[in-house]
Amino acid sequence: MTSQDHSRPLAAGGPGLPPPGCPAHGAAEQLISMYGPEFAEDPAAVYARMRAQGPVSAVEIAPGVPATLVTGYTTALEVLRDQKNFPKNARPWQQTIPADSPVLPMMMYRPNCLHTDGDVHSRLRGALNDGLSRIDIGTLRHYIERGAQTLLDEIAPAGEADLLSQYGKLLPILVFDQILKCPPHLSERMTKSFATIFDGVDAKGTEQANEDVFLCALELVALRRERPGPDLVSWLIAHPAELSTDEIVHTILLLVAAGVEPVQNLIANTLRLLLSDDRFADGLAGGSVQIADALAEILWTDPPMANYSPTHPPNPVTLSGGVQIPGGRPVLISLAAANTDPALSAARAAGNRAHLAFSAGPHVCPAQAQAITIASVAIEALLDRLPELELAVPVEQLTWRQGPFHRALTALPVRFPVVQPSVPIDVPTGGSRWNTSQSPSSSTPPAATSRPRQNSSAPGESPRWWSSLVRWWRGQ
């Protein structure tokens, strides 16, 4: 892949650049594109080109939208831990780009803990931590296993499937519908709109999708105010921090955005590795696959969120080693490139789990334990039911969705011997023959919760309810 495939000049005076005539310009700045098909096909090659320039690179994340991408692991940690020089406030930047920019919904200011700093961040993060701490792990596993069994009952008799559209995409949605007690018509609209937002390539579509997710979350809050229950939305509404309706809505959007699209990519990317790499594929039939090892490897090498954790330094910053970060334009962390920094090869080989797949610092993902649980239980349930699973096409023929933020397959076609739907998962709830032990991992531990865990109510949904929810989602 040549440099001409990815670089294009940005004219002087564009968003986030010094004014024309400033010595910082020199020639028109060469930016590396992160939104086209070439980047989606082989991002590792692009990251390698970037590293040749140093730990940071000038990139273009959408037409006319420049940013700084951090590809070095040590530099990434320094940025993520420095709230003073790298604040989350995106509002000044938002005034410099078109309102219909396809990347705006992913990076714009929202009143939730991801996009705020200081005392506001602490208050919003504390409320979210408290809500997440009340999700009983046994109940969560029940939701995952029940949803997986319902989906696999439909898949197993066919002998072939697209594990992305028929399994990986749907299962996190079913689980979060239960956690939030979200009606399926709202979750359908939200998750389909979020898929458009995560792609970050369709200007008209992302603007409409951003409006739609807000309206759906607003309707969900109204429903839970009217009929509160043992669910995360109701807990946020009743929290002593007294979140405003706007704060609750945007916290819900954060939960859905982080809990559905990235988790479905984690499931699909891990299954791709399990089915294509001889280190894992040879152990499928014998039940000796180490699912925890495969998940850990994907979190290092192909994290579902490849480039994110945006910050907005108002002024230039000089980091350790003389690394220069310009001000006035967003800084993104390449979680994928930082994780695969050649300087870390020994740490990865030794099983070190200080990857950045869940970010780091004060804004480290608060729900990484839940994400790992959903992915690992989803994979173990699938392999228990369909142990002779194999890819239907060579792994090289799998294709990836375009966009600057995620690492997401377009499909994951597989084939397997037909299994009748009456065959149950052959292990009791909460048990498995697969090694799925996996602890949340990040270079910074999750923030502590501010009050003790309280369990949610015991699960009681019938298989018929789950089946009807799946049929709704498939338009049946």
Mean pLDDT per 10-residue segment, the chain (476 residues): 41 38 52 93 95 95 96 96 96 93 94 97 97 95 95 95 95 93 89 84 82 94 96 97 97 92 95 91 64 92 95 97 96 97 70 84 94 96 93 96 95 94 46 45 38 40 51 48
Which of 148-181 are b and which e, b meaning 16 or more Cβ less than 10 Å from the residue's Cβ?
bbbbbbbbbeeeebbbbbbbbbbbbbbbbbbbbb
Tell me the Cα Rg of the chain.
22
Considering only CA atoms, which of 265, 303, 269, 274 is closest in space to residue 386?
274
The pTM (predicted TM-score) of the whole model is: 0.83
Position 217 scores a pLDDT of 94
Q: What is the pLDDT of residue 197?
A: 86
Question: Would you identify the CATH topology of the domain 118-302+357-473?
Answer: Cytochrome p450 (1.10.630)
Residue 206 has a pLDDT of: 86
Provide the pLDDT for residue 437: 45
Helix (H, G, I), strand (E, B) or coil at 318: strand
Q: Taking the domains of the chain in order of start, what are their residue ranges?
A: 118-302+357-473
Rounded Cα–Cα distance for residues 144 and 172 (Å): 8
Q: Around Cβ 426, how many Cβ atoms within 10 Å?
A: 10
Q: DSSP label at 165?
A: I
Q: For position 43, what pLDDT does the model report? A: 96
**Residue pair 307/336 in contact by the 8 Å Cβ criterion:** yes
Give the model's pLDDT for residue 436: 44
Q: How many CA atoms lie within 13 A of 228 on its CB side?
A: 9
Would strands 307-311 and 56-62 be described as parallel, antiparallel, or unpaired? unpaired
